[in-house]
């Protein structure tokens, strides 16, 4: 565990300012690009419809994005390890309903949210165990749990429904309230996002998630506890899906057995559009969050411009393909740049 | 030579009667080994002898089937690489094990970064420590650069830096020098000697025998997984060592036949790829073996890749038998009779999950496809033919290439390209990681090809190989061709002078 102290020579010539920190720069470039697309899109919409960026308009934009941002943050961790969690939609649905049932019986809202998170943790652990112990691809395992959890949800919920009228007023108000244009829910998502990003950058186990996604075999040889880390990623992803379920209930006040169906695809799109590469090892949660913001904004932008919302899916698909194409081109250019740098070294 | 004091005979790390099988393959049988503090110990043996398997047992990657590992005399069970690491054992594996998406600094310190308060990583200290390591090794690699795209030699340097960063009591190196040239090897050996003098035990594997004699005090030899001997190197000759390894006397290592050169087969004119190499012109004639020497990073591999069409060139032209090749089109190069054996066998040469047979057969698809269907029989017999010629050590031809030892994988790459029957053959480090016995065989093969009229361009970091095999030696330095020396006049001094840029004076 010791580290050789740079004793022999003063560590003055660390190439920090002079040399470009290429890894970071590429990531940042990627995030800036999405931000730019987002701003342009919102700007154009605002020009076409000056109501769009009213206080309520901004609030709606943020509220819509919140839940997707949360789930995408969790999903990013899993995708960084070269895996995927398709069961997030089901987890969100069942935890939303569980929260609702508990509140309906007069439960405490804080306990209710904790309950939702715990439920998510449980499903995350299940996924993590199956993926890290079995030699089965994550895609298949979590496709299985997607159906299993949805099945349990359907049997339990049946045709019941929870509406805002069944919930405590405070809970529903919290779901739509906030400080002027900024909803409480968005603040929660932002806090989770920043904490996760900080963790990934500054803690050993966070970096190890990148390492094992980048080269699983090398991670094993480096003594990284691969299974524990995969378990961690899935548990965290499940926890955020659970939390998102509770917030979904607060926001919409309406859940049934179909809540969250198909959500996993939106989440995965957001993550990929945000530059978290499916082959593992790269990307950031900020990127994923921007991806989520971009995808949900398309939903709000089209009606504001008077375009039929049937276009939403097509546009989401287009963004996805565009993102992948951009990633590919950037990767090739970086590779060329690196090769040229190589050649100059002795 | 040995700095081991007679008063301190306790080995830091020892193996007792270790056996390990992979299915039917018995990779190690009852092998014992003692590693003493303050010694550099060589592990020698042919490709597939079990060297890598042995070090993986020491590193906790493999669990031995039978036998014991003793750490400071105590029986120890390593349940994984982390255990061995925590016991102070640092390992450089034969194949680079880097994280392509992470920076060099992170690669080196993954799992044990310097920490600040609250367990947070100290990125500054990590970077500083990396920069210090790079200075110690005398290389200019930016700690923040991602590992993706590093040349094989630079990857090897990062691996070495990683191992050094441990302050390990035991340093195990599986062919660390395979991709390096003279000056980098000298630098590495300097560092190894320092560690040895500080009391570390070093286990060193190399197929370059002169390196073993230069740095090691004792040698343990394996043959077919069995222990042959463990003895001091003092008083031993290279011939003695080879006899222990292969069990017989070796034929000549450089069996070069004199061939009258024919017409120009490959002509490269003013080839330039911006920032990589500049204004490179040379000819290779039928029947000639032209050696391309230079330091790591001089641009030799890059020239070869451009000629073959894997990378594009910015200016210049390439002709094969008088016909110009298209820029950036390997398929036309192959159609013109050009073949390139690449240096990076894992990334560019092999499909690791395909069988040996299919890997060798891949390049011959065109000739073994009949009426749109693959003629498996033809592929099989052709593959077998080459596998035998190159003495590939395998259990079954249907086994995946991933199960082969490093040197045997290299032979498969070679077989794959030789099987195309090229008229111009470019080989990039043809004998890297290949044992002496097969090295002689590869040299005999290249010589035979030349005698049959093939034009051979041989890139090699192994200077004796260049001097022993080449009719003509081209030397590159920092992306330019700095010398062309007839084989008879080429010596270690003239080539090195040109390679380091000293000849210009
Ligand atoms: N994972 C594996 N599965 C099956 N066989 C294996 C595996 N690893 C090694 N072997 C076999 O064990 C034998 C010893 O291999 P090893 O890699 O130890 O050789 P080596 O001495 O390091 O050779 P080289 O000089 O070519 O690196 C070989 O026959 C190889 O094919
Ligand atoms: Mg080996």
Q: Check residues B289 and B343 and name the one with the higher pLDDT.
A: B289
Q: Indicate if the pLDDT at residue B3 is higher than 80.
A: no
Q: What is the pLDDT of residues A62-77, one digit of tens each?
A: 998 999 999 999 999 9
Q: Indicate if the pLDDT at residue B282 is higher than 80.
A: yes
What's the pLDDT score for residue B345? 67
Distance in angstroms (rounded) separating the CA atoms of residues B443 and A330: 42
List, in order, residues 6 or more apart from A69 with CB less than 8 Å away.
A189, A193, A288, A289, A292, A293
What's the pLDDT score for residue B187? 83
Q: Which two tokens stand for residue B51?
A: 């060297």
- Nearest Cα neighbor of A6 from B475, B148, B167 is B167
Distance in angstroms (rounded) separating the CA atoms of residues B335 and B325: 10
Q: For B106-120, what is the mean pLDDT?
A: 91
- Nearest Cα neighbor of B480 from B301, B309, B313, B276 is B276
CATH superfamily of B263-500: P-loop containing nucleotide triphosphate hydrolases (3.40.50.300)
Is the beta carbon of B172 within 6 A of some atom in ligand 1?
no
Nearest protein CA to atom 27 of ligand 1, as residue: B406
What's the pLDDT score for residue A192? 97
Query: How many CB atoms neighbour CB A202 within 10 A?
Result: 18
Write b or e for each residue in B351-366: b if 16 or more Cβ atoms lie within 10 A of its Cβ, otherwise e. eeeebbbbbbbbbbee
What's the pLDDT score for residue B439? 85
**For residue A195, how far is its CA from the centre of ligand 1 (angstroms)?**
46
- Residue boundaries of the structural domains of chain B: 13-98+150-247, 263-500
Q: Contact at 8 Å (CB) between A30 and A331?
A: no
Q: Which of B94, B102, B125, B314 to mutate to test the interface with A (most CBs of A within 10 A)?
A: B102
Q: Contact at 8 Å (CB) between B154 and B107?
A: no
Instruction: Give a yes or no: residue A231 inside a domain.
Output: yes
Q: Which two tokens stand for residue B445?
A: 């093969």
pLDDT bin (cut points 50, 70, 90) of residue A302 is confident
Q: Contact at 8 Å (CB) between B229 and B45?
A: no
Instruction: Give a yes or no: residue A2 inside a domain.
Output: no
What's the pLDDT score for residue B420? 80
Contacts with A, B 165-184, CB within 8 Å: 165-167
Distance in angstroms (rounded) separating the CA atoms of residues A299 and B406: 54
Q: For A56-67, what is the mean pLDDT?
A: 89
Contact B113 A207 (CB under 8 A): yes
List, in order, residues 6 or more apart from B194 with CB less than 8 Å away.
none
B54 alpha carbon, closest ligand: 1
What's the pLDDT score for residue A10? 36
What's the pLDDT score for residue A19? 40
φ and ψ of B280, to 5 deg: -95, 120
pTM of the model: 0.81
Range of the domain at A332: 16-341
Q: Contact at 8 Å (CB) between A296 and A65?
A: yes
Residues of B in contact with A11 (CB under 8 A): 128-129, 131-132
- For tokens 């990148």, the residue is A210
- For tokens 């508990």, the residue is A102
> Among A161-175, A267-281, B360-374, whose mean pLDDT is lowest?
B360-374
Q: Check residues A21 and B7 and name the one with the higher pLDDT.
A: A21
List, in order, residues 6 or more apart from A32 with CB less than 8 Å away.
none
Q: Which two tokens stand for residue B423?
A: 């008229």
Q: Which of A223, A333, A336 to mutate to test the interface with B (most CBs of B within 10 A)?
A: A223
Query: How many CB atoms neighbour CB B284 within 10 A?
Result: 27
Q: What is the predicted ipTM?
A: 0.84
Instruction: Give a yes or no: residue A256 inside a domain.
Output: yes
Q: What is the pLDDT of residues B193-213, one digit of tens each?
A: 988 998 999 999 999 888 999
CATH code, domain with A297: 1.10.3470
What's the pLDDT score for residue B504? 45
Query: How many CB atoms neighbour CB B223 within 10 A?
Result: 17
Instruction: Give a yes or no: residue A304 inside a domain.
Output: yes
Q: Which two tokens stand for residue A125?
A: 């652990």
Q: Contact at 8 Å (CB) between B47 and B18?
A: no
Query: How many CB atoms neighbour CB B40 within 10 A?
Result: 27
Residues of B in contact with A338 (CB under 8 A): 145-146, 148-150
Q: Indicate if the pLDDT at residue A61 is higher than 50.
A: yes
Residues of B in contact with A204 (CB under 8 A): 111, 113, 115, 119, 121
Q: Check residues B220 and A275 and name the one with the higher pLDDT.
A: B220
What's the pLDDT score for residue A3? 39
Distance in angstroms (rounded) separating the CA atoms of residues A240 and A247: 10
**Number of structural domains, chain A?**
1
Q: Contact at 8 Å (CB) between B122 and B113?
A: yes
H runs (alpha helix) in B93-231? 104-109, 123-137, 152-164, 182-197, 209-215
**For residue B430, how far is its CA from the centre of ligand 1 (angstroms)?**
20
Instruction: Give a yes or no: residue A6 inside a domain.
Output: no
> Among A186-195, A233-242, B402-411, whose mean pLDDT is lowest?
B402-411
Q: Which two tokens stand for residue A323?
A: 């993102």
CA dihedral B223, B227, B232, B238 (to 10 degrees): -10
Residues of B in contact with A2 (CB under 8 A): 166-167
Q: For A39-68, what is the mean pLDDT?
A: 88
Is the beta carbon of B310 within 6 A of some atom in ligand 1?
no
Q: Indicate if the pLDDT at residue A341 is higher than 70.
A: no
- For tokens 């010398």, the residue is B483
- Architecture of the domain defined by B13-98+150-247: 3-Layer(aba) Sandwich (3.40)
Angle separating helix axes A55-80 and A263-273, nearest 10 degrees? 80
What's the pLDDT score for residue A320? 80
H runs (alpha helix) in B365-462? 365-368, 376-389, 406-418, 436-451
What mean pLDDT, rounded, does chain A reach?
Answer: 86
Distance in angstroms (rounded) separating the CA atoms of residues B121 and B492: 47
Q: For B146-162, what is the mean pLDDT?
A: 86
pLDDT bin (cut points 50, 70, 90) of residue B387 is confident
Q: What is the pLDDT of residues A109-168, one digit of tens each?
A: 999 999 999 999 999 999 999 999 887 899 999 999 999 999 999 999 999 999 988 999
What's the pLDDT score for residue B422? 87
Q: Which two tokens stand for residue B405?
A: 């030892």
* Residue A2 DSSP symbol: -
What's the pLDDT score for residue A7? 35
List, in order, residues 6 or more apart from B133 with CB less than 8 Å away.
A4, B108, B161, B164, B165
Contact A2 B167 (CB under 8 A): yes
A171 three-class SS: helix
- Nearest Cα neighbor of A298 from A315, A317, A275 is A315
B172 three-class SS: strand
Q: What is the pLDDT of residues A203-255, one digit of tens each?
A: 999 999 999 999 999 999 988 999 999 999 999 999 999 999 999 999 999 99
Q: Contact at 8 Å (CB) between B285 and B299?
A: no
H runs (alpha helix) in B282-401? 300-308, 330-335, 356-361, 365-368, 376-389
Q: What is the pLDDT of residues B239-262, one digit of tens each?
A: 889 888 888 776 777 887 888 888
> Among A91-100, A101-110, A287-296, B364-373, whose mean pLDDT is lowest?
B364-373
Closest CB from B111, B151, B299 relative to A208: B111
Distance in angstroms (rounded) separating the CA atoms of residues B239 and B236: 8
Q: Indicate if the pLDDT at residue B370 is higher than 60.
A: no
DSSP string, A189-234: HHHHHHHHHHHHHHBHHHHHHHHHHH-HHHHHHTT--HHHHHHHHH
- Nearest Cα neighbor of A236 from A206, A266, A265, A261 is A206
Closest CB from B83, B143, B149 relative to A342: B149
pLDDT bin (cut points 50, 70, 90) of residue A18 is very low
φ and ψ of A20, to 5 deg: -85, 135
Contact B132 A6 (CB under 8 A): yes
Inter-chain Cβ pairs, chain A and chain B, closer than 8 A: 166
Distance in angstroms (rounded) separating the CA atoms of residues A81 and B415: 36
**Count of residues in chain A:** 346
Instruction: Give a yes or no: residue A346 inside a domain.
Output: no
Instruction: Give a yes or no: residue A53 inside a domain.
Output: yes
Is the beta carbon of B393 within 6 A of some atom in ligand 1?
yes
Q: pLDDT > 90: what percent of chain A?
A: 53
CA-atom Rg of chain A in angstroms:
22
φ and ψ of B172, to 5 deg: -115, 125
N- to C-terminal Cα separation, chain A: 31
Q: Which two tokens stand for residue B138?
A: 């005398």
Instruction: Give a yes or no: residue A3 inside a domain.
Output: no
Q: What is the pLDDT of residues B211-236, one digit of tens each?
A: 999 999 999 999 989 999 999 999 89
- Nearest Cα neighbor of B325 from B274, B286, B271, B289 is B271
Q: Contact at 8 Å (CB) between A53 and A255?
A: no
Find the helix or strand (DSSP H, E) in which A102 lies: helix A88-104
Pairing of strands B218-223, B226-232: antiparallel
Q: For B428-450, what is the mean pLDDT?
A: 86
Q: Contact at 8 Å (CB) between B217 and B2?
A: yes
What's the pLDDT score for residue B374? 59
Side-by-side strand order, sheet with B226-232: B74-76, B66-71, B13-22, B25-35, B226-232, B218-223, B40-44, B201-205, B170-174, B89-92
Q: Contact at 8 Å (CB) between B325 and B319?
A: yes
Q: Which two tokens stand for residue B82?
A: 């982390």
Closest CB from A4, A208, A342 relative to B165: A4
Closest CB from A7, A11, A335 relative to B149: A335
Q: Indicate if the pLDDT at residue A6 is higher than 50.
A: no
Equal fold, B13-98+150-247 vs B263-500: yes
> Among A135-139, B371-375, B498-502, whose mean pLDDT is lowest?
B371-375
Query: How many CB atoms neighbour CB A323 within 10 A?
Result: 22
Distance in angstroms (rounded) separating the CA atoms of residues B165 and B186: 19
Distance in angstroms (rounded) separating the CA atoms of residues A141 and A134: 9
- Nearest Cα neighbor of B463 from B475, B453, B454, B455 is B475
Q: Contact at 8 Å (CB) between B379 and B357?
A: yes
What's the pLDDT score for residue B157? 87
């Amino acid at each position: 565990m010791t580290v050789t102290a740079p004793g022999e020579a003063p560590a003055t010539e660390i190439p920090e300012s002079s040399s470009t920190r290429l890894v970071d720069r590429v990531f940042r470039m990627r995030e800036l690009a999405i931000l730019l697309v987002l701003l342009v899109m919102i700007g154009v919409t605002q020009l076409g419809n000056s109501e769009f960026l009213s206080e309520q308009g901004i609030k709606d934009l943020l509220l819509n994005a919140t839940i997707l941002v949360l789930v995408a943050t969790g999903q990013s961790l899993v995708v960084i390890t070269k895996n995927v969690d398709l069961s997030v939609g089901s987890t969100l649905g069942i935890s939303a309903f569980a929260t609702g049932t508990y509140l309906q019986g007069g439960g405490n809202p804080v306990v209710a949210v904790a309950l939702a998170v715990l439920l998510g943790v449980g499903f995350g652990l299940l996924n993590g165990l199956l993926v890290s112990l079995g030699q089965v691809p994550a895609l298949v395992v979590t496709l299985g749990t997607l159906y299993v959890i949805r099945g349990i949800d359907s049997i339990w919920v049946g045709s019941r429904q929870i509406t805002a009228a069944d919930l405590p007023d405070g809970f529903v108000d919290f779901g739509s309230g906030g400080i002027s244009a900024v909803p409480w829910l968005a603040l929660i998502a932002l806090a989770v996002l920043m904490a996760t990003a900080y963790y990934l950058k500054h803690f050993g186990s966070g970096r190890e998630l990148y390492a094992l996604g980048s080269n699983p075999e090398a991670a094993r040889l480096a003594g990284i506890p691969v299974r524990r880390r995969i378990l961690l990623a899935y548990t965290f992803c499940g926890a955020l899906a659970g939390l998102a379920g509770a917030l979904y209930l607060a926001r919409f006040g309406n859940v049934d057995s179909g809540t969250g169906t198909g959500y996993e695809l939106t989440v995965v799109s957001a993550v990929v559009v945000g530059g978290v590469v499916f082959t593992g090892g790269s990307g950031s949660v900020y990127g994923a969050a921007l991806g989520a913001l971009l995808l949900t904004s398309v939903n709000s932008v089209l009606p504001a411009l008077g375009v039929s919302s049937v276009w939403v899916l097509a546009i989401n698909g287009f963004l996805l393909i565009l993102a992948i194409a951009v990633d590919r081109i950037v990767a090739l250019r970086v590779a060329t740049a690196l090769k040229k740098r190589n050649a100059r070294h002795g | 030579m040995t700095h081991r004091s007679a008063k301190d005979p306790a080995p830091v790390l020892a193996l007792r009667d270790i056996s390990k099988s992979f299915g039917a393959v018995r990779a190690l049988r009852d092998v014992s080994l003692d590693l003493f503090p303050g010694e550099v110990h060589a592990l020698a043996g042919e490709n597939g002898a079990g060297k890598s398997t042995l070090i993986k047992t020491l590193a906790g990657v493999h669990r031995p089937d039978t036998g014991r590992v003793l750490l400071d005399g105590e029986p120890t069970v390593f349940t994984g690489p982390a255990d061995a690491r925590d016991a102070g054992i640092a390992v450089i594996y034969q194949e680079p094990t880097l994280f392509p998406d992470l920076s060099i600094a992170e690669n080196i310190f993954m799992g044990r970064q310097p920490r600040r308060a609250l367990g947070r990583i100290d990125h500054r200290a990590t970077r500083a420590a990396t920069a210090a390591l790079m200075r110690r090794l005398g290389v200019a690699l930016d700690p923040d650069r991602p590992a993706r795209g590093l040349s094989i030699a630079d990857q090897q340097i990062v691996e070495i830096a990683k191992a050094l960063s441990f302050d390990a009591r035991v340093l195990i190196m599986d062919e660390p020098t395979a991709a390096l040239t003279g000056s980098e090897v000298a630098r590495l050996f300097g560092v190894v000697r320092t560690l040895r003098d500080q009391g570390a035990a070093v286990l060193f594997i190399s197929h370059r025998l002169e390196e073993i004699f230069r740095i090691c005090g004792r040698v343990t030899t394996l043959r077919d997984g069995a222990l042959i001997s463990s003895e001091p190197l003092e008083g031993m000759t290279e011939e003695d060592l080879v006899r222990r390894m292969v069990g017989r006397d070796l034929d000549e290592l450089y069996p070069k036949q004199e061939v009258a050169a024919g017409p120009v087969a490959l002509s490269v004119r003013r080839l330039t790829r911006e920032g990589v190499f500049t204004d490179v012109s040379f000819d290779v004639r039928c029947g000639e073996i032209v050696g391309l020497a230079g330091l790591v990073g001089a641009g030799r591999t890059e020239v070869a890749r451009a000629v073959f069409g894997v990378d594009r060139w910015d200016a210049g032209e390439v002709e094969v038998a008088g016909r110009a090749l298209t820029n950036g089109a390997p398929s036309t190069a192959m159609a013109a009779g050009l073949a390139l054996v690449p240096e990076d066998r894992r990334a560019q040469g092999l499909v690791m999950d395909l069988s040996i047979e299919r890997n060798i057969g891949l390049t011959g698809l065109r000739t073994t496809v009949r009426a749109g269907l693959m003629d498996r029989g033809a592929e099989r017999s052709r593959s077998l033919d080459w596998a035998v010629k190159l003495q590939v050590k395998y259990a079954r031809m249907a086994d995946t290439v991933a199960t082969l030892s490093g040197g045997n994988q290299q032979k498969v790459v070679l077989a794959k390209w030789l099987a195309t029957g090229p008229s111009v053959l470019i080989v990039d480090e043809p004998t890297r990681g290949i044992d002496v016995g097969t090295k002689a065989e590869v040299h005999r093969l290249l010589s035979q090809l030349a005698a049959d009229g093939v034009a051979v361009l041989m890139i090699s970091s192994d200077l004796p190989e260049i001097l022993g095999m080449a009719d003509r030696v081209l030397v590159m330095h920092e992306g330019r061709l700095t010398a062309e020396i007839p084989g008879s006049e080429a010596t270690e001094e003239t080539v090195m002078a040109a390679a380091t840029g000293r000849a210009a004076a």
